[in-house]
């Protein structure tokens, strides 16, 4: 899957209004494992140091969106931000 190269940043409160595709955004198993590793690391940093990370993800219209927030938890299907706001894990492209 080809991804857009430029993103726009939103506030976490805008995430619930977005629609997400049900399709996995990362084609290779290696990239999906790296994403999981980075999400786990970001969760640890968020819980211990309250460190924010920039999360890049794709919505259902294939727009690249970013949000700069602390990750509170990662489940098998979702990334959980403050106030229970979630992003589907399969929509996330990159974490920095």
- Domain presence at residue 3: no
Predicted TM-score (pTM) of this structure: 0.90
Structural domains counted in the chain: 1
Question: What is the extent of the structural domain holding 84?
Answer: 8-95
Q: Which residues pair with 94 in a beta bridge?
A: 56
- Domain presence at residue 21: yes
- Domain presence at residue 61: yes
pLDDT at residue 20 in the model: 95
Q: Is 5 helix (H, G, I), strand (E, B) or coil?
A: coil
- Domain presence at residue 2: no
C-beta separation of 58 from 21 below 8 A:
yes
Nearest-angstrom CA–CA distance, 55 and 7: 11
Q: Return the CATH number at 85.
A: 2.30.30
Q: Which ranges constitute the DSSP H helices of 1-96?
A: 29-49
- Domain presence at residue 1: no
pLDDT tens for the chain, residues 1 to 96: 566 667 889 999 999 999 999 999 999 999 999 999 999 999 998 888 888 999 999 999 999 999 999 999 999 999 999 899 999 999 999 999
């Amino acid at each position: 899957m080809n991804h857009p190269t430029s993103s726009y940043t939103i506030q976490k409160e805008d995430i619930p209004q977005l629609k997400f595709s049900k399709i996995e955004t990362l084609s290779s198993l290696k990239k999906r494992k790296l994403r999981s590793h980075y999400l786990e690391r970001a969760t640890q940093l968020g819980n211990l140091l309250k460190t924010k990370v920039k999360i890049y993800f794709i919505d259902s219209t294939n727009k690249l969106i970013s949000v700069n927030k602390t990750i509170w938890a990662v489940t098998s299907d979702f990334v959980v931000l403050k106030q229970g706001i979630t992003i589907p894990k399969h929509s996330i492209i990159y974490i920095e």
